[in-house]
Structure formats: C-alpha cells, structure tokens
Amino acid sequence: MSAAERAIVLEHLASVDVDVRPVPYPEHSTVEEGKRLRGDLPGTFTKNLLLRDKKSNLYFLTAHEDAEIDLRTLHTRIGARGRMGFASVEVMEERLHVGPGTATPLALVHDPDAEITLVVDQGLEHADQLNFHPMVQSESIGLTWEEFTRFAHSTGHPPVLAAMSGPQDDPTSPTPGGTLSGRPSRTPPTPSIPPGPGG
C-alpha cells in the first residue's frame, strides 16, 4: 500500500507511546521464501489472515508463521458462525487498505467501528517480539506483547486468544480479551490517549 497508509500506522503507534523503527524486509510471496530471504532478523514472525464466517462476520487472525490453522474447526474456538473461509481481496482492500502479502493487524486502525474481531494465536502470548509489516511488504517492525495489546486495545480490538489446533472440549464462545476457557488475556485497559489517525 501507499506511504500514506504506512504513516497513519506509525503515527497511531506513536500516539499510544509505542516507538518503533521499521527495518528493511525482503519482499516475498510465501512464508518459506520469507524465511530464506530475511536472514537473522530477530523476533517471532507471524501469518496474518482476514477470514469470514458463514454469516459474513469478519475476523483478523494473527498466528505464528508455522501454525497449522484448521479452518474447518476454527469457528468452534472463536465463537464464529459456521466454518471459516478467506475474505475476498476486495473486502481486504476496502476494509483494511491492505492486499495479499501485506496483511497486518496494524491495519485495524482502519476499522474504527471495531466490526472486525481480532483473533490471536495463544502461542504468541507474551512473545518478546512480534514482527509485522507496517502496511508495506518491504519493511518489518517489532512489538513486544504489551505494545501489541496496547495498540489493539487503542483501536477497539481487544484480542481473542485461541488455540490454532487440537481438540476443543468446550466450544464455548470466547469473549474479547479472553480465551475459550474464560482465562483473560493479560492485556492492558484501553489507553486514555485519544486515538491516532484512522483509529
């Protein structure tokens, strides 16, 4: 996407006291290619998907790059209505201003009414550094877990933590900021700082 979209994200992060320094990242078309090209960049890398359920509710999923995501059963873990599928490129561009290859939870600044649910792989909780594209595929930024959840809350998207695979004994719908077991994700309250641009 454009430099303007990148600037909106960086300005919003700054507005909630998250200081980031984008670093160059080799453009790539697959996870494996990205692994090969990025060298020894530190941090945990993620895969990011915009999904929809059978009622056309939208979910933004952030998971470990190696996570195996079972779209046939994911809905039972996050309270969605029916099996999940991928949102169209047109919906992604219209709602989040990103396209294939640049999907990032940072794009949720463009969902001011919080109509998209943010779902996060519980395996990422408290990672030292989570890496995301800042709306452009040629850069990466690293956030601590606390910084990431602060950002998410500031945009009105408290993370729903969910396991990406494995049996689910109690398919109770999760609540924002929690997990399917009812354990709250350790996320901060919404900052009292006014939302930044696009938030």
pTM, full prediction: 0.80
Instruction: Say what the pLDDT of residue 120 is.
Output: 97
Whether residue 199 is contained in a domain is answered as: no
**Virtual CA dihedral for 93, 13, 116, 126, nearest 10 degrees?**
120
Domain count, the chain: 1
State the residue range of the domain holding 77. Answer: 3-162
What pLDDT is attached to residue 35? 74
Contact 116, 58 (CB under 8 A): yes
Per residue of the chain (199 residues), what is the pLDDT tens digit?
Answer: 578 999 999 999 999 999 998 988 877 667 777 777 776 788 999 999 999 999 999 999 999 999 999 999 999 999 999 999 999 999 999 999 998 888 999 999 999 999 999 999 999 998 999 999 999 888 999 999 999 999 999 999 999 999 986 444 333 334 344 433 333 344 443 333 232 333 3
Q: Is residue 187 part of a domain?
A: no
- In Å, how far from its chain's centre is CA 186? 16
Q: Flag whether 26 is in a domain.
A: yes
> Does residue 180 sit within a domain?
no
Domain contains 16: yes
- The distance of Cα 192 from the centroid of its chain, to the nearest Å, equals 22
CA distances to 13, 24, 111, 196 from 1, rounded to whole Å, are: 18, 15, 16, 19
What Rg value do the Cα atoms of the chain yield, rounded?
Answer: 16
Backbone angles phi and psi of 35, in degrees to 5 = -60, -40
CATH of the domain at 40: 3.90.960.10
Q: Do 61 and 53 touch, CB atoms closer than 8 A?
A: no
Q: What are phi and psi of 95, to 5 degrees?
A: -85, -35
